[in-house]
Amino acid sequence: MSVLVDANTRLLVQGITGKSGSFHASACKEYGTQVVAGVTPARGGEKFEKTVPIFDTVSEAVAATKANASMIFVPPEFAADAILEAADAGIQLIVAITEGIPVMDMMRVRFALREHSCVLIGPNCPGIITPGACKIGIMPGYIHRPGNVGVVSRSGTLTYEAVWQITSQGLGQSTCIGVGGDPIHGLTLQKAVEYLHADPDTKAIVMIGEIGGSEEEEAAEYIHSRVKKPVISFVAGATAPPGKRMGHAGAIISGGQGTAQAKIEALKKAGVRVAETLGDIGQEVVKALGK
């Protein structure tokens, strides 16, 4: 099994004719993802790479191709409306890669999505991949290998590092999810852990956190009370000073809250194996699985 995406996922790309959209749509297609449609207003009737039809609206694309997932590469000022357009069209999984979406726009999106059953990953995220089956996003596919370690992370770059360490240990991944680093986003660390815990093919979970917010603590509470599988974690930003944003818009210590140490303590109390350094993740996974 897998989480959220598999070989049957039918992907449309909003913003497929832009520079980034076309590059990554092509990479997803080359990986084996079923890219069935693109959406760019006023470009309907054209073809992407001679085979993928382009539509003016998401609803037209869904009606014609039965797409059930969307990858968004729309500029920040239009991205919130693109998310809502996908949700209104019945798309079940929306992966918003775009970064720099205004916080107020995402507050509007969060409120509106209460009326929909879809799952939003992102924005400002690397996406999701089930190795060997489906890639939606910007992650390098070649470092992934089918296996039984689930990965969820707030950081794209750290996701890739964790995945590469797991692969280098001769293991593989079930599904890897980058939830994004903006203050307001869709899928949370806790919900991603829930999905991975429910997947029978996922035998261990790697969770990469960072300073700012309280998602790691909330995930730790859930892990302590519900999760039976081994969980390995790393929290980035231990040396970041209060009031300084580190990398992501959501990675900031404010009012003494959101520190790496507080998150590490909560995770350890929940029984999570916390890697002392980034380079220890792979070895901690091996130990957790008894390999």
Tokens of 225: 């009370």
Does residue 140 have a cis peptide bond before it, meaning omega lies within 30 degrees of 0? no
Between CA 31 and CA 131 the distance in angstroms is 9
Beta strands in 58-196 (DSSP E): 69-72, 93-96, 119-121, 127-130, 134-137, 146-153, 173-178
CB atoms within 10 A of CB 64: 13
Between CA 94 and CA 232 the distance in angstroms is 27
End-to-end, the C-alpha distance of the chain in Å comes to 22
Whether 274 contacts 235, CB under 8 Å? yes
Give the strand order in the sheet containing 119-121: 47-48, 52-55, 34-39, 10-14, 69-72, 93-96, 119-121
Between CA 290 and CA 148 the distance in angstroms is 13
Closest alpha carbon to 171 in 131, 198, 218, 129: 131
Three-class SS state of 235: strand
Three-class SS state of 283: helix
Catalytic annotation, residues: 248
